[in-house]
Amino acid sequence: MHLLPRSFYLRSDVVGIARELLGKYLITRIDGDIAAGVITETEAYAGVSDRASHAFGNRYTSRTQVMYSPGGTAYVYLCYGIHSLFNIVTNQEGIPHAILVRGIRPVEGIPVMLKRSGKPKVTKDFGDGPGKVARLLGIHYSHSGTDLTVIPDDPGIPAIWLEDRGIHPGHDRIEISPRIGVDYAGDDALLPYRFRMRL
């Protein structure tokens, strides 16, 4: 067991953590089903000064209040009325940094992922896209606020956590680019806060 500890998430460099998350295992136990994938794509959202962030300008609402939790908390919200998007809160309580997980390579629990996706087989782009990530892993926006550093004994309680199983991609395997779908963010839309790992 290589569960990522609270200290991993409490650090202040959200962009660096977004890069470090590439290769980590994202694991869920939801409705009793275990599913896991390797994180292949992330985006950093750098808090109150980042125009692309939901917390820009200290915005604090029933949706965004979870972003002000301590690092190691799940922030999940609904996008376009259809997709739950899974984010990892970082930094200390009160500082609303978050990292959107945009892609995974499925590893464990393929049958339940296929069932959730409604598809007959795993294709190359099976885990590409933030909406798909949450759907495959059974993550719903009602799971926002889940603590990512504990795994309850009761398998009926939804659990989401990350593990380091030794995949540490080097610079030659990582592509850095601007974030997707944040045109409204002005100059901040150009920041190189998106990280993708070549397989």
Partner DNA sequence: CATAGGATCGCCT
Partner DNA sequence: GGCGATCCTATGT
Window 19-38: residues binding DNA (CB under 7 A)? none
Among 10, 51, 141, 149, binds DNA (CB under 7 A): 141
Instruction: State which residue, 20 or 84, has the beta carbon closest to DNA.
Output: 84
Least Å distance between CB 17 and DNA? 14
- What is d(CA 159, CA 122) in angstroms, rounded to the nearest whole number? 24
- What is d(CA 16, CA 89) in angstroms, rounded to the nearest whole number? 14
- What is d(CA 127, CA 104) in angstroms, rounded to the nearest whole number? 5
Q: Interface with DNA includes 74 (CB under 7 A)?
A: no
The stretch near DNA (CB under 7 A) out of 22-30, 53-61, 158-166, 168-176 is: 53-61
- What is d(CA 148, CA 70) in angstroms, rounded to the nearest whole number? 11
Distance in angstroms between the alpha carbons of the first and the last residue of the chain: 24
Q: Interface with DNA includes 122 (CB under 7 A)?
A: no
Query: How is residue 176 written in tokens?
Result: 């850095």
Site string for DNA, 172-191 (x = CB under 7 A): -------xxxx-x-------
Among 48, 59, 70, 151, binds DNA (CB under 7 A): 59
- What is d(CA 22, CA 25) in angstroms, rounded to the nearest whole number? 9
Instruction: State which residue, 81 or 166, has the beta carbon closest to DNA.
Output: 81
Instruction: State which residue, 3 or 77, has the beta carbon closest to DNA.
Output: 77
Among 8, 9, 45, 161, binds DNA (CB under 7 A): 45
Least Å distance between CB 51 and DNA? 10
Closest CA to 196 of 23, 14, 74: 23
**Residue with tokens 């393929």, as numbered in its chain:** 110
Least Å distance between CB 175 and DNA? 17
Per the CB < 8 A criterion, the answer to whether 157 and 143 are in contact is no
Cross-strand partners of 83: 79
Using CB atoms within 10 A of its CB, is residue 48 exposed (0-12), middle (13-18) or buried (19+)? middle
Instruction: State which residue, 3 or 78, has the beta carbon closest to DNA.
Output: 78
Binding footprint of DNA on the chain (CB under 7 A)? 43, 45, 52-55, 59, 61-64, 77-83, 85, 87, 98, 100, 117, 129-133, 141, 179-182, 184
